[in-house]
Amino acid sequence: MERCEIRVDNKTQLIIAPAKQIHGFLNRPLRSKAVFPHSPYLRICFPRKSQFLTRRSSAPKPIDHYPRRYDDYSRIQPINRLKPGTITLKAIIKQAKGHYVRRGMHITEAVASDDTGSVRLIWFNQPYRENSLKHNVEYYVSGEFGLSHQRLSILNPSIELVSDFPVNTARIVPIYRETKGLKSLQIRKTLKTLLPTIQKLPETLPNWLIEEQGLIARADAIRSIHFPENVEALERAKQRLGFEEVFSLSLASLLNKHELIKEHALKIPFNEKLAKDFVAHLPFKLTDAQRKVIWQIYLDLQKDQPMNRLIEGDVGSGKTVVAAMAAVMVISQGYQVAFMAPTELLARQHAENIHKLLVPLGMADNLSLLIGSMKPAQKIAVWQRVKDGTIRFIIGTHALIQEKVDIHKLGLVIIDEQHRFGVEQRKVLQTKAGHAVHVLSTTATPIPRSLALTLYGELDISTIDTKPIGRKMIHTKICSPNSREQLYKKIDGELSDGRQVFVVCPTISESYLMPVKSAEQTYEELSKGPFKHRRVGVLHGKMKADQRDKVMKQFIDHELDILVATTVIEVGVDVPNASVMLIENAERFGLAQIHQLRGRVGRSDHQGYCYLMMSDSGQPGQRLKALEESDDGFRLAELDLKIRGPGAIYGSAQHGQLDLRIAKLTDVNLLIAARAAAQNFIDKNENLLQYEELNNRIQKLSTLTNLN
């Protein structure tokens, strides 16, 4: 049992109960947390103004709470040399007086003087300043110097007594991420008390690696990241800690790959006649990129080591056809293939398209669909046919990983849009066979080289970097709200020619917190306004799965002319008749995301158009201009990573998994060096258990990197 003290409105209650019961008693979701450095309590803030303080069960390491930025107050200037901007001076403070002005605001004014002159200091709503200042004692004063009410002053300056080790002034000052009740000042004070402990921190990397890379000791790096003596010391600290972050991620990835190589999978021999028959019956010609990728896959399948390959390629580049070519080689040997898609709609679409490809080969009867919405009797029939091997190619969603699905002759797993599945879900599918299986993943999100070197380091990556023959470039144009009427006329013209239109909004419903176009609001406006003579539908995440599928099927069958939606239509849905994509509040989307969305149109002989509607009539930003100028998904993914970080490409969950707080994923030289060092670590047969903290981090990261 855990003793827990809860304070509500300054009244204290003491209870003894398991932590789960305590949370049940509070019965409200956490909004934010803040550690009190000088108190054994954790403040928990709730959506409504109540506050609770509960005894901490496990404290985070304050030394690992790295600054988010720095203010350089290290240059001390005489007062007569001050210029507007960030300044630091050493002076005696006197004539401190406080008074209230209109609306209850309190102002404290004082005068700081040195041998060269004096300057006025002003603090707002800090009444304690008047009595806390010591007279005839030197202070460091840091802040912004500029005009205030026609007089030069320093507003809300940080001050502290002159010493050999200032914390908040007269140095490069770290600024931390703050929450209510926990400010940077408190964090800095706490860390200063921990400096003796920091200097005794054990090393986490081998000595040969530190010397080889020219790195400083970990203890020195931690000290300098919090209290840098100068810019050079700060850069050396960032280099050491950043290198270790990427080294750990690369090592985890390579160790996963190393373990995978030890396993044995089924050898799938190459059948040249079958491959040629498949290609001969295609209604189109394969691109050179597709041919190259399928040959890489065939070479992998012939080995007894399990394949772990990712196909990356833009929307419409032909990844599904390549996956189907791999699958027919496996089922021709009597083994089974499981193809998992992220949604039922997409699973159905894949099943229909692949069925057409298998008919000329006489393999269509080997194919079946398995999704959650099927009737129980249908599922039981599929389970039985999968178990006895009658069905060799099964396409579905999460229904494939149910315990009742017995795919004991599984030879290949194909995972569409791999980053949408959790690691454990993918593992379950792979282990159903009872032996190692070949794994082929696909993604329409181009992976920047930096992520390929780190997060996906254990994967062999194949790239389809050409569009299908005859596919036209989508015309992309930035629009301002005052051009909406003319744009609607253009869109109506496309509808009159028999085409269809997507309208994508950033939110589902209206919110005063986010003044943007919502899907529900836009649906009402279009269906009752400029497009009341058209068939308009709406699709978003709050709708039940069967409702979403019904609406999407109506759009695919051209029972709707316009589909207003959120980004639920981002991946996989194929509507060849759709020619226009209108994205509302386009500046709120990432580059890679918009590129995915516009890939939903122009998938036939008809020209595709993408209109990026801004929130106002201001100047468009760098991201939107890049989209207007380029349809190269790989270039745009690199730019998105540089501007917004990995979360823009892979979502917030994987952004947290990357856990890079110092290193920059755009620093390719660092990534290459760290990966080479990780490989060297393995080649030297280093014992990871000798480095406790590194080992703990590797164990955690090994569960986060791709499939293993």
Amino acid identity, position 440: L
> Confidence class of residue 418 from pLDDT cuts 50, 70 and 90?
low
Asked whether the beta carbons of 360 and 418 are under 8 A apart, the reply is no
Q: Tell me if 60 sits within 8 A of 176, measured CB to CB.
A: no
Mean pLDDT score, 658-683 = 84
Burial class (CB in 10 A: 0-12, 13-18, 19+), 684: exposed
- Which residues, in sequence order, are CB contacts of 26 under 8 Å at separation 6+? 44, 46, 52
pLDDT tens readout for residues 184-198: 888 999 999 999 999
Residue 532 DSSP code: T
Q: CB within 8 A of 9, min separation 6: which ones?
A: none
Residue among 228, 220, 227, 225 nearest 238 (CA): 225
The pLDDT value recorded for residue 79 is: 93
Closest CA to 523 of 512, 515, 513, 531: 531
Show the 3-state SS of 58-95.
Answer: CCCCHHHCCCCEEEECCCECCHHHCCCEEEEEEEEEEE
3-state helix, strand, coil in the chain (%, to 5): 40, 25, 35
Range of weakest confidence among 107-121, 423-437, 610-624, 660-674: 423-437
Q: Is the pLDDT of residue 78 over 80?
A: yes
| Cβ 351 vs Cβ 338: under 8 Å | no
Across residues 224-246, what is the average pLDDT? Answer: 95
Q: How many CB atoms lie within 10 A of CB 570?
A: 20
Least confident stretch, 494-498, 519-523, 563-567, 570-574: 570-574
Q: What is the pLDDT at residue 297?
A: 97
Q: How far apart are CA 580 and CA 582, in angstroms?
A: 6
Correct CATH for 475-630 of 3.40.228.10, 3.90.1310.10, 3.40.50.300, 1.10.10.10: 3.40.50.300
318-443 and 475-630 share one fold: yes
C-alpha 422: how far from its chain's center?
14
Whole-angstrom distance, CA of residue 404 vs CA of residue 425: 15
Domain ranges of the chain: 2-59, 69-177, 318-443, 475-630
Pick from 19-28, 162-171, 328-337: least confident: 19-28
Task: Answer whether residue 637 shows pLDDT above 50.
Answer: yes
Q: CA 569 to CA 567: how far, in whole Å?
A: 5
Q: Give the Cα separation of 441 and 413 in Å (integer).
A: 8
Find residue 72's DSSP bridge partners: 172
* Tally of residues, the chain: 708
Tokens standing for 89? Answer: 């001076």
Identify the CA nearest to 205 among candidates 703, 680, 672, 702: 680
Say what the pLDDT of residue 572 is: 55
pLDDT in the model for residue 232: 96
Average pLDDT score over residue span 288-313: 93
Written as six digits, the tokens of 601 are 């149109």
Bridge partners (DSSP) of residue 111 are: 94, 120
Facing residues of 312 across strands?
443, 463
pLDDT in tens, 9-55: 333 333 333 333 333 333 333 333 333 333 333 333 333 333 323 33
pLDDT at 617: 81
The residue type found at 249 is L
CA-to-CA distance for 579 and 690, rounded, in angstroms? 60
As given in the structure block, the two tokens for residue 319 are 């990844």
> Sorting pLDDT into bands at 50, 70 and 90, what band is 87?
very high
Locate 79 and state its tokens. Answer: 């007062």
What distance in Å separates the CA atoms of residue 44 and residue 32, rounded to the nearest whole number?
6
Beta-ladder partners of 76: 88
CB 45 within 8 A of CB 51: yes
What is the rounded CA–CA span in Å between residue 346 and residue 269?
A: 30
Task: Give pLDDT, residue 40.
Answer: 34
How far, in Å, CA of 370 to CA of 303, rounded?
A: 30
> What pLDDT is attached to residue 656?
47
Say how far apart CA 614 and CA 629 lie, in whole Å: 17
pLDDT of residue 41: 35
The sign of the CA dihedral 660, 663, 665, 670 is negative
Left (φ > 0), alpha (ψ -120 to 50) or beta: where does 650 sit? alpha
Give the Cβ contact number of residue 275 at 10 Å: 17
Tokens 């997060």, residue located: 455
- Select the highest-mean-pLDDT range: 83-97, 219-233, 547-561, 689-703: 219-233
Residue 513: per-residue pLDDT: 61
Tell me how far apart the alpha carbons of residues 150 and 129 are, in angstroms, rounded to a whole number. 23
- CB neighbourhood size of 478 (10 A): 19
The whole-number pLDDT of residue 281 equals 94
Least confident of 12-26, 137-151, 295-309: 12-26
Residue given tokens 């004692």 in the structure block: 137
Report the Cα 526 to chain-centroid distance in Å: 33
CATH topology of domain 318-443: Rossmann fold (3.40.50)
Is residue 216 scored above 80 in pLDDT?
yes
Cα separation, 383 vs 273, whole angstroms: 32
CATH placement of domain 69-177 = 2.40.50.140
Is the model's pLDDT at 208 over the cut of 90?
yes
How many Cβ atoms are within 10 Å of 520's Cβ, its own excluded? 18
Q: Has residue 304 got a pLDDT over 70?
A: yes
Of 17-26, 484-493, 506-515, give the lowest mean pLDDT range: 17-26
pLDDT > 60? residue 179 = yes
The residue written with tokens 């998105």 in the block is 640
Mean pLDDT, range 617-638, rounded to an integer: 84
CA 211/CA 391 separation, integer angstroms: 58
Look up the pTM and report it.
0.71
Q: Give the mean model confidence (pLDDT) for residues 81-94.
A: 92
* Summary mean pLDDT of the chain: 83
Q: What is the mean pLDDT of residues 697-701?
A: 85
Name residue 60's amino acid.
Answer: P
Please give the Cα distance from 621 to 511 (Å, whole number): 24
User: Which of 243, 252, 245 has the alpha carbon at shortest distance from 698?
Assistant: 252
